[in-house]
Chains A and B, each alone.
Chain A
Amino acid sequence: MKKTNNIIGVIVFVAALLLPVIIQAPYQMHILILVLIWAVMGTAWNLLGGYAGQVSFGHAAFFGVGAYAAGLLEFHLGISPWWGMILGPVLAALVSLPIGLICFRLRGPYFALAMLALGEIFRLLFTNMESFTNGAKGILIMPAITDKVFYYYSGLLMLLVTVLVTTLIVRSKIGYYLVSIREDQDAATSLGIPTTLYKNLAILSSAFFTGLAGAFYMNYVAFIDPHIVFNLTSISVMLIMVVMLGGVATTWGPTVGAALYIYLGEVFRTTLGSANVLVFGILVCLIIMFLPNGIVGEIGMLKQVVTRKKTSVKEGI
């Protein structure tokens, strides 16, 4: 089992490395880069939402902070926004601590709502603090590098690092503790798990990598405004959708989800024109109703059915 997985993994990895050689068209490259950005965001969100079970409806706050960190470096200080790739995640992580302080007192849907409110507060703040952020006019930078191949490989590296760190966390004691908190917070406490501490660890790492994606986005797309990067529906909520589509609490689920989201989005956009979001919305409803654990998540169930592996106990022992 493991061997086949490893071989598939190697093949996919090599293919990913060679893609820019095969695909030359800038448009296709652009799509791939977007997939990478969303894959990083999804993987980051998954740590807090999928593994720790704290469903955040406000992750746009971290994405936006990361993006603005990079953009404002050039806007105010004339420093290359690539330094934002360090400042962005750090600031996003720092911001996540007071956010966690406020929100982790709440559970379940109340937590989700509080994160939503905070994400919106960030958007409104960044829109209104014009002297600091340039308000709704946004930030426009002159990118030093325009070669898409460069962005592809750096994006790929970013994704690999994110997945690696996230996987290390998930497979360690921290990961076990996070899932325990997700499954039953009170039981976790009775086992000596300091739940608030671990939830904060989760939001810290989650925010860090989301901010990283944000800073990368700023550098690649070269224009941001609060309405784009702090957006509730197209960033915060879509992020949840992406992870759900691909598979909550799985390693590659978010990446699969990101690929599906971007590609489907493009297919819909080009073939259906203005009806594309509608079809996407319908798809979302269908997935939630029939495939609630995402594609990767339901693979386990499908495999079980196929191989008839016994993982449940008959009643009456």
Chain B
Amino acid sequence: MVLFGQTVICGILLGGMYALIAIGMTLIMGVMNIINLAHGSLVMVGMYVAYVCFTQFGIDPYLGMFAAMAVLFVIGCLLQRYMINRLVEVDSILPENQVLLTVGIMLVLTEIARLIFKSDYRSVTTSYSSQTMYFGDMSISVPMLTGFFIAMLFTFLLHLFLTRTDIGKSIRAVAQDRDAAIYMGINSSKITMITFGIGSALAAAGGSLLLPLFYLWPDIGHFFTAKAFIITILGGMGSTMGAGIGGLVLGIAESLGATYISMGYKDIVGLVIFLLVLLFLPGGFRSLAKR
């Protein structure tokens, strides 16, 4: 029973942090309608920024996170404005060109990281890295708890941003109907660029929160891209609420899979869920909520 409780809680905490990354992706997807296979590598870059802050300047990852977010916001805006935006005008046989461009970007980001940091596994050890808190017989890792709460805080702040601020509402408008938004006087290309920036910043935030928990190496990006996708599709493209729930669901499912089936098959669980959702619930949880 203790094992079960611990597994589920672990899943929820981890899932919450994955969700933050996925929310970044779903935000971008809602506005741009593209499949961004570079998203995980944005997380990776954010993690390296936080890593450098820690190792070079002694800044705690939870603070370095803000630096990472700033850097990734800028990178995201630039990528969208000067590269991805270009493809809107190009007519080619393969409509999946945008997806492929994101693959190219993923390669470039990963390799630049590898050039600078080599393929070594890095890790960050802080004063609280191995601390655990006890709830009855269950032990929960402190960085997991802290990361989860910060992720929840960010999600809440994002929600406020999207519903209360002008820019936030503009983003939602463009996501719902780009043309109508333009008629309403919204500068859609600026909004698209900003959204990509925000999505990237959220990815960086999620990554920084996970830094005390994961090994860091350039290829870790693929791992996060996969998770983000599964959660995004689970929750319904463009739905931040859905991504939140999807993250928790995936976290719990994988945690249970790891504990009760085996470590190796843990990732298959996520992929199978992904396929099932694609096939049978293409709108994700969001479409369930609508019914």
Residues of A within 8 A of B (CB): 49-50, 53, 55, 102, 105-106, 108-110, 112-114, 117-118, 120-121, 124-125, 127-128, 182, 232-233, 237, 240-241, 244, 248-249, 274-275, 277-278, 280-282, 284-285, 288-289, 292-293, 297
Contact = CB atoms under 8 A, between A and B. Distances in A.
A285 B101 contact: yes
Interface in B84-107: 86-87, 90-97, 99-101, 103-107
B222 interface: yes
A248 B104 CA distance: 17
A244 B100 contact: yes
Contacts, number: 122
B93 A114 contact: no
A282 B222 CA distance: 18
29 contacts: A49-B94, A50-B93, A55-B94, A55-B96, A106-B278, A109-B99, A112-B96, A112-B99, A113-B233, A117-B271, A120-B267, A124-B264, A124-B271, A241-B100, A248-B92, A274-B114, A275-B111, A277-B111, A278-B114, A278-B115, A281-B106, A281-B107, A281-B108, A282-B104, A284-B107, A285-B108, A288-B97, A289-B90, A293-B93
B138 interface: no
The 8 closest A-B pairs by CB, nearest first: A281-B107, A292-B92, A278-B111, A284-B104, A285-B104, A281-B108, A128-B264, A55-B96
B96 A277 contact: no
B107 A274 contact: no
Contact of B265 (A120, A124, A248): A124
A244 B94 contact: yes
B227 to A, nearest CB: 12
Contact of B282 (A110, A240, A280): A110
The main secondary structure of chain B at its interface with chain A is helix
A288 B97 CA distance: 7
Nearest to B33: A109
B208 to A, nearest CB: 24
A282 B279 contact: no
Contact of B93 (A106, A117, A249): A249
A121 B271 contact: yes
Given A112-B35, A285-B108, A289-B86, A118 B264 contact: no
B59 interface: no
A106 B96 CA distance: 14
Contacts of A240: 100
Given A117-B275, A285-B83, A278 B107 contact: yes
B183 to A, nearest CB: 27
A233 B105 CA distance: 13
B278 A114 contact: yes
Contacts of B106: 281
A14 to B, nearest CB: 32
B153 interface: no
Contacts of B272: 121
